[in-house]
Amino acid sequence: MKEVTKLMRPVYYYNECLWYQVHSCTKHKLLNKNNELKQFIVIDVTKDVIYTKDEFLEKFYSNSIINPKQIVNDLDSLKFKVYKKIKL
């Protein structure tokens, strides 16, 4: 039983959806097969603010061409915690 519980992740409830944290080693899960961004939320730990995917892109990438792989790499910092939406 202890081995199985190590595979489980904590799940969080926000905005009527379930989310789990995406760690840097699994950040590729934010992209789908077409290299498009999936739904995610970002917590800015320095400001205690939660951004949805659209809000995050608007705030940090509003005037630039969006490369999804670059965005995923930029999210891999100590400033942000990223959570992926769980499909039910």
Quick one: pLDDT band at residue 2, thresholds 50, 70, 90? Answer: low
- Tokens 């899960």 — which residue? 29
17-39 pLDDT per residue, tens: 999 999 888 888 899 999 899 99
On the question of pLDDT at 1 being above 60, the answer is no
Provide the Cα torsion 47, 48, 53, 54; round to 10°: -60
39-63 pLDDT per residue, tens: 999 999 999 999 999 999 999 888 7
CA distance 25 to 11: 18
Residue 42's nearest CA partner among 10, 80, 86 is 80
Query: What pTM value is reported for the model?
Result: 0.81
Per domain, the residue ranges of the chain are 9-85
| CB neighbourhood size of 30 (10 A) | 20
What's the confidence (pLDDT) of residue 88?
77
CA distance 52 to 10: 20
